[in-house]
Structures are given as C-alpha cells and as structure tokens.
Amino acid sequence: MNFKDFYYQLKEETINDIKGNVDSLRKDNALPVVSTYESINKRGTITFKSTAITSPGRYGIYEWTQRVRPHKKPVSSSSLKAFREIYDGDVDVACDCPDFKFGGYQYIATKGDFKLGKAQTISPDIRNPNLEGTTCRHLANVLTVVKTNLPSAYKDFKKL
C-alpha cells in the first residue's frame, strides 16, 4: 500500500478539505457555473442544480445535479447553529456530470471516503492518471455556496 492510499483511508473530507484540493487549472479555465439550492431530504442530503455552459458552439448549456450529505445525520429539533456545525464536519458529495464520473473525481471521492452513492473502483488511468483535483467544477461551485444556502435548507428540513 502506498502513502496516498494509506492517507485516503485515514482521512475523511470536510467541505473545506474538498474545496482546497480542487484542480485550480481546470477550475480557472472553466466557463461560468451557476448553482442553486433545490431541496433537502430527511437524511440531510442537500440537492443543488448547476447550470453550466460548455465551449461555445460545441455542446451548449447543461444542467447537472449535485448532492452534499453530512456524515452526521441532522435532527429536526436542532438549532440553526447546530445544523450549520453538522455541515462543517465530514461530508459526502456527488455530481451526475460526465466529468465527475469519467474525469476521475468519482474514483478520488471513493478513495477519499467522501463519495455519496455507489463506489467507483476503476482508476481513471487515461483521463486523470495522476489523480489531480477532488471534484468537478460544478461541485466546486456548490461547495462555495452551500453554507449560504443552509438557512433555506434548515427551514425546509424543519418542515419534513
């Protein structure tokens, strides 16, 4: 077992950890992404929709879904402060865009124990052989706006 695998087994990721390891070159070269809060479920999984523009004349405008779920399940009797603290802890993330799946981020999230949903066990040897970055640009954007959307998510969570 190499050091990188050992490190991934020991460390779970918080929102700041994941944001801090985004492949900055890919993010800086990316076209704008707009993420909006959609909903929250009883488990505390917050769903966002991101509208992303691809290269002009190539594909157009697409909408992808991202999910962020804390490891610790929130309870309906908690205060907004306690609710925020839960999302400051370890979280799991997922995006349904092709870059997250085929760009190696799903595999990196699986190895880092912050993948929400089915594990990805196939290494991205062609598209991301050096395992650079942690998330796609859509999730990177969501992770920057998730905390500003927590009051809305908290309000919706109290209604469940």
Residue 147 gets which letter from DSSP?
G
Segment (H or E) for 132: none
d(CA 55, CA 71): 36
Retrieve residue 63's tokens.
């909408």
Nearest alpha carbon to residue 18 among 146, 156, 134, 144: 134
d(CA 110, CA 57): 34
pLDDT by residue, tens only, the chain of 160 residues = 444 454 444 445 677 777 666 666 565 656 678 899 999 999 999 999 998 776 555 556 788 899 999 988 898 888 999 999 999 889 999 999 988 988 999 999 999 889 999 999 999 998 889 988 888 888 988 998 999 999 999 999 999 8
Number of C-beta neighbours around residue 102 at 10 A: 15
